[in-house]
Amino acid sequence: MKDLAEANAGKFTDPRTTAKGEPRATVALSHPETLWFNTGTLCNIECVNCYIESSPGNDRLVYITAAEVEAYLDQLDDRQWPVTEIAFTGGEPFMNPQMIAMTRAALARGYDVLILTNAMRPMMRKPVQAGLLDLNAAYPGKLTLRISVDHHDADLHDAERGAGAFDKTLRGMAWLRDNGFRMAVAGRSVMADSEAESRAGYAAFYAQHGFDIDAHDPGMTVLFPEMDEAVEVPEITTACWGILDKSPDAVMCSSSRMVVKRKGAAKPSVLACTLLPYDPEFELGTTLAEAERDVALNHPHCAKFCVLGGASCSA
Query: What CATH number corresponds to the domain at position 51?
Result: 3.20.20.70
Mean pLDDT throughout 110-138? 98
What is the model's pLDDT at position 192?
A: 60
Mean pLDDT throughout 104-127? 98
Instruction: Determine, yes or no, domain membership for 70.
Output: yes
Residue type, 27: V
Rounded to an integer, what distance in angstroms lies between the CA atom of residue 115 and that of residue 94? 9
Question: Cis omega (within 30 of 0) on the bond before 91?
Answer: yes
pTM over 0.75: yes
- Looking at the predicted structure, is the pLDDT value of residue 3 above 60? no
Instruction: Determine, yes or no, domain membership for 34.
Output: yes
Count of structural domains, the chain: 1
Helices (H), 162-254: 165-178, 195-209, 240-244
Instruction: Determine, yes or no, domain membership for 261.
Output: yes
- Looking at the predicted structure, is the pLDDT value of residue 205 above 70? yes
Per the CB < 8 A criterion, the answer to whether 101 and 68 are in contact is no
Instruction: Determine, yes or no, domain membership for 313.
Output: no
Containing structural domain, residue 114: 4-308
Percent of the chain with pLDDT over 90: 79
What is the model's pLDDT at position 309?
A: 65
Rounded to an integer, what distance in angstroms lies between the CA atom of residue 119 and that of residue 149? 10
What is the model's pLDDT at position 301?
A: 86
pLDDT tens-digit series, residues 189-198:
765 678 899 9
More confident residue, 312 or 299: 299
| pLDDT band at residue 228 using 50, 70 and 90 as cut-offs | low
- Looking at the predicted structure, is the pLDDT value of residue 126 above 90? yes
pLDDT tens-digit series, residues 129-156:
999 999 999 999 999 999 999 999 999 9
Mean pLDDT throughout 66-86? 98
| pLDDT band at residue 86 using 50, 70 and 90 as cut-offs | very high
What is the model's pLDDT at position 1?
A: 37
Of 79, 74, 78, 80, which is closest to residue 108 (Cα–Cα)?
A: 74
- Looking at the predicted structure, is the pLDDT value of residue 8 above 60? yes
- Looking at the predicted structure, is the pLDDT value of residue 157 above 70? yes
What is the model's pLDDT at position 314?
A: 37
Instruction: Determine, yes or no, domain membership for 209.
Output: yes
Instruction: Determine, yes or no, domain membership for 52.
Output: yes
Of 131, 72, 119, which is closest to residue 268 (Cα–Cα)?
A: 72
Rounded to an integer, what distance in angstroms lies between the CA atom of residue 296 and that of residue 211? 40
Instruction: Determine, yes or no, domain membership for 315.
Output: no
Instruction: Determine, yes or no, domain membership for 294.
Output: yes
Mean pLDDT throughout 97-105? 98
Ranking 45-49, 224-228, 298-302 by mean pLDDT, the lowest is: 224-228
- Looking at the predicted structure, is the pLDDT value of residue 200 above 90? yes
Pairing of strands 112-117, 85-89: parallel
Per the CB < 8 A criterion, the answer to whether 258 and 288 are in contact is no
Per the CB < 8 A criterion, the answer to whether 209 and 152 are in contact is no
Write down the mean pLDDT value for the chain. 91
Of 129, 45, 132, which is closest to residue 91 (Cα–Cα)?
A: 45
